[in-house]
């Protein structure tokens, strides 16, 4: 989920060729309800994340949405019960896809999640 406008979300989907639903919440009420943080300012963590991204070949484009809104992961069942939550503390503090899989497999069961290799 993003926190920009619907137009920005459509541009994101088009730019990256995303084939699954993408949602955005410009009001950031969903972020607040999920316990996600807003972290103002830049510290060493931010500079380390930027350096790591640059080394990986990533470049910061135009900021869209709320620049200090941190993300995270919420896995909930159909009743809304939270099964897994990870709240990012700073820029670049997100979990790797493999780390996410490793953490949710015990919750959902190994057979519920395909291993892409």
Over residues 6-41, the pLDDT tens digits come to: 998 898 899 889 998 888 888 888 888 888 888 766
Q: How far apart are CA 91 and CA 60, in angstroms?
A: 12
Domain extent for 60: 6-112
32 domain-assigned: yes
pLDDT the model gives residue 17: 92
65 domain-assigned: yes
60 domain-assigned: yes
DSSP classification of residue 84: E
1 domain-assigned: no
In sequence order, what are the beta bridge partners of 74?
Answer: 85
Write down the mean pLDDT value for the chain.
79
pTM for this structure? 0.61
| Number of domain units in the chain | 1
117 domain-assigned: no
Cβ–Cβ under 8 Å, residues 102 and 115: no
Exposure b/e, 11-36, CB count within 10 A at least 16 = b = ebeeeeeeeeeeebbeebeebeebeb
107 domain-assigned: yes
Q: How confident is the model at residue 56 (pLDDT cuts 50, 70, 90)?
A: confident
DSSP classification of residue 113: S
11 domain-assigned: yes
């Amino acid at each position: 989920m993003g926190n920009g406008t619907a137009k920005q979300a459509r541009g994101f989907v088009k730019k990256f060729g995303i084939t699954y639903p993408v949602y955005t919440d410009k009001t950031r009420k969903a972020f607040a309800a999920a316990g996600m943080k807003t972290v103002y300012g830049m510290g060493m963590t931010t500079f380390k994340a930027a350096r790591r991204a640059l080394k990986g070949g990533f470049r910061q484009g135009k900021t869209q949405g709320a620049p200090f809104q941190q993300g995270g992961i919420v896995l909930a069942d159909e009743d809304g019960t939270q099964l897994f939550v990870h709240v990012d503390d700073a820029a670049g503090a997100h979990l790797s896809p493999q780390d996410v899989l490793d953490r949710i497999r015990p919750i959902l069961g190994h057979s519920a999640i395909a291993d892409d290799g």
